[in-house]
Amino acid sequence: MTFNRNTLVSSIALTATLMATGAQAQMSDNAVRIGYLADMSGTYRDLAGPGGLEALQMAVEDFGGEVNGAPIEVSSADDRNSADVGANTVREWFDTQNVDLVAGLVASSVVIAATKVIEDNNGLGIVSGSAASSITNEHCTPNHIHWVYDTYPLANGTAKAVVEQGGDTWFMLTADYAFGHALEADVTRVVEDNGGEIVGTIRHPFPTSDFSSYILQAQGSGAKIIGLANAGADTVNAISTASQFGVVQGGQQLAGLLIFLNDVHAMGLEDTQGLLLTTGWYWDMDDQSREWAERYFERTERMPTMVQAGIYSSTMHYLETVAEEGTDDPETIRAAMAERPVEDFFSRNGRIREDGRMVHDMYLARVKSPEESTGEWDVYEILSTIPAEEAFRPLAESQCELVTN
């Protein structure tokens, strides 16, 4: 199926009209209110941030700005990568604005705190930016959904591929908070299960600007692979420092375990070429992706990350479900969202499991060399597809209390 904006808008309008004429919409306070919470100014600004808000606004506009006659209202806030700020913001939204959906949700420490508030208020949250697999494992709730990716497929994709290519000794450089710990644990499991060894680990504060001492320790370990269990500006700074210290020239290889399009673009192909990574989506992987990404580029002058694409996808899935059900009741909507497959420009073979994990195909990619690239944003070659059912943690291994084994 080819993603076509006019077809999409027409079908959404027809659905809304049928719902509006068939029954009185049961929208709380006669409006659908979405609060977008993300890092808007710090380490994770570029991977989600204002660009993610733009993607959400695109979804609202494509939907027509209303659901069954009820206007869609969007608020946004900068969580400043603080769990306290994030939790307090979400609490205020519920107390004073009657927010129906909390979207965005990036830093894992913020997400864990915010989703507890969402559960306490019987709201609904869709997590698009966070990577910690614990969000739908030990920290699962019946009130949130995890949409784009998590540490489990990142480790399964990238670490497994690197070990299979001979990178069997690893030194882990890890961001010292929930996301970094989860990624380190998942990578350790994959490396050891595939016959490799973790020879050392060091954790750095989040965020960190000076990686000199950490890179020196990684060099001194003698490990073939330096695994970067961090993200955003931390990853960029670590790779830049490694380049300055001649890590690759010394015979070691970097494995960026959570690399975003904006990171590669910022560092350039000269420093990142050949890097293997796992991604949930890429703007140039097919016609559907290109069509949406080009519309996004017209608004932002940047190609979207997988998180920004996922924010549009999850928002549209939510609004379509609200229109079909004729209500924004969070319990009803979460259950109905899980009954509907997620098949759009972002997701292939997508569905929402009982633990709240939206599983979908993931992709192993390689960063192109400058000679291979045909343009500023032509940076990935998709090497293989990791099927949805293989990519994410099996429910049989879940610690989520919502899962009945």
Dump pLDDT digits (tens) for 221-244: 999 999 999 988 899 999 999 989
| Arithmetic mean of pLDDT, 331-350 | 97
Does 83 score more than 60 pLDDT?
yes
Q: Which two tokens stand for residue 5?
A: 């904006």
Structural domains of the chain in order of their starting residue, each with its CATH number: 5-149+284-356 (3.40.50.2300), 152-279+362-389 (3.40.50.2300)
- The reported pTM is 0.88
pLDDT at 220: 97
> pLDDT exceeding 90 applies to what percent of the chain?
81
Q: What pLDDT, in 10s, does the model give residues 20-44?
A: 433 335 898 899 999 999 999 998 9
Residue 274 pLDDT grade (very low, low, confident, very high; cuts 50, 70, 90) = confident
pLDDT at 54: 98
Does 5 score more than 70 pLDDT?
no
pLDDT at 156: 86
Q: DSSP of 22-77, one letter per residue?
A: HS--B-GGGSEEEEEEE-SSSTTTTTSHHHHHHHHHHHHHHHTSEETTEEEEEEEE
Distances (CA, A) of 57 to 66, 74, 249, 308: 12, 8, 45, 11
Does 249 score more than 90 pLDDT?
no
Q: What pLDDT, in 10s, does the model give residues 114-154?
A: 999 999 999 999 999 999 899 999 999 999 999 999 989 98
Least confident window among 16-20, 262-266, 380-384, 396-400: 16-20
Residue 19 pLDDT grade (very low, low, confident, very high; cuts 50, 70, 90) = very low
What is the 8-class DSSP label of residue 303?
P
Does 16 score more than 90 pLDDT?
no
How many other CB atoms are there within 10 angstroms of residue 306's CB atom?
23
Tell me how far apart the alpha carbons of residues 285 and 383 are, in angstroms, rounded to a whole number: 11
pLDDT at 405: 58
Does 8 score more than 80 pLDDT?
no
Least confident window among 180-189, 295-304, 372-381: 180-189
From 243, 237, 241, 281, select the one nearest 261 (Cα to Cα): 281
